[in-house]
Amino acid sequence: MSPQRSFVSAAPGENGDDSSSSSPALKLLWYLSESLGNVKAAVLNEQPVVVGDSSSASSSSSTTQSSLTFHEALSMIREDYKQDYFVTGQGSMKAYVDTCRFADDFSSFQGENAVNRFKTNVQNLGSLCDDVSIDWNLYVSDVDVTNETPPKIDADTAPSSIRSTWRFKATLRLPWRPILAAKGGTEHVLSPENNRVCEHIERWDSKPGDVIVNLLRPSNGDETTMNTWEKIMLAIYKAVK
């Protein structure tokens, strides 16, 4: 998931990322996502979530973290998924180096305290979501390792990454109650130095333009019972559909 964000990460083209391949729809989706936390604060009179202290070094700094075995990294990643970390921001994410690169179809960032930045992003998104439904599976070399049984992998030939597939659906806590639904996957690239996650690469199978349009549509399908916000957004949805 990437998946609500009063986002502190960089939009496409910032932080040295090449934005030439980003379509207008993709950029629009990024900036729409970036503003959701502010919309939440304005509409619900709440403050965006802030995770950790970006002014201090994280305890997960790559310079202080010990090495993990492949199975230790797998176990930690699995526990994060059990807590729906990529929506709630509640997982420990202890398997990650603090400077981990986080990338998805909309943004990319890395550097000191990147893990805390990621948690802030997804926790802001999670605070906007009701009726959340998440399904996920973990894979190592195309072997399903979702359950607690680790694969039989020799330490010398352990894969360099762990990947997941996921499906996500939620109703956003906005006046017109749109539904955010997507499916995709995440690759957790492990550092050859310490077997900790150094890259978190998320892909969405959903088209950015479709996601944008669907966020305009009220979840209430009965026009006779719609509130003012729902009627306005439905009209906009019909105009752009």
Whether residue 183 has pLDDT greater than 60: yes
For residue range 97-109, list pLDDT tens digits in order.
999 999 987 779 9
Whether residue 235 has pLDDT greater than 90: yes
What value does the mean pLDDT of the chain take? 79
Name the pTM for this structure. 0.75
Task: Give the mean model confidence (pLDDT) for residues 47-73.
Answer: 60
pLDDT of residue 26: 47
Whether residue 238 has pLDDT greater than 70: yes
E-assigned strands of the chain? 96-103, 108-109, 129-140, 143-144, 161-172, 179-190, 197-204
Place of tokens 């943004």: 107
pLDDT of residue 58: 37
For residue range 16-33, list pLDDT tens digits in order.
444 334 445 544 544 555
Residue type for position 185: G
pLDDT of residue 39: 56
Q: Per-residue confidence at 114, pLDDT binned at 50, 70, 90?
A: very high
Phi, psi at 191, each rounded to 5°: -70, 135
pLDDT above 90 covers what percent of the chain?
49
Residue type for position 86: F
Whether residue 125 has pLDDT greater than 90: no
Q: Name which of 169, 91, 172 is nearest 125 in CA terms.
A: 172
Helix (H, G, I), strand (E, B) or coil at 140: strand
- Residues 6 or more apart from 29 whose CB is under 8 A from it? 106, 208, 209, 211, 212
Helix (H, G, I), strand (E, B) or coil at 202: strand
Tokens in use for 195?
A: 């077997």
Q: Of the ranges 54-68, 155-169, 201-215, which one carries the lowest mean pLDDT score? A: 54-68
Task: Give the mean model confidence (pLDDT) for residues 159-177.
Answer: 94
24-207 in CATH: which number?
A: 3.10.450.50
pLDDT of residue 32: 53
Q: How far is CA 236 from the centre of its chain?
A: 27
pLDDT of residue 42: 53
Q: Per-residue confidence at 2, pLDDT binned at 50, 70, 90?
A: very low
Tokens in use for 158?
A: 């352990």
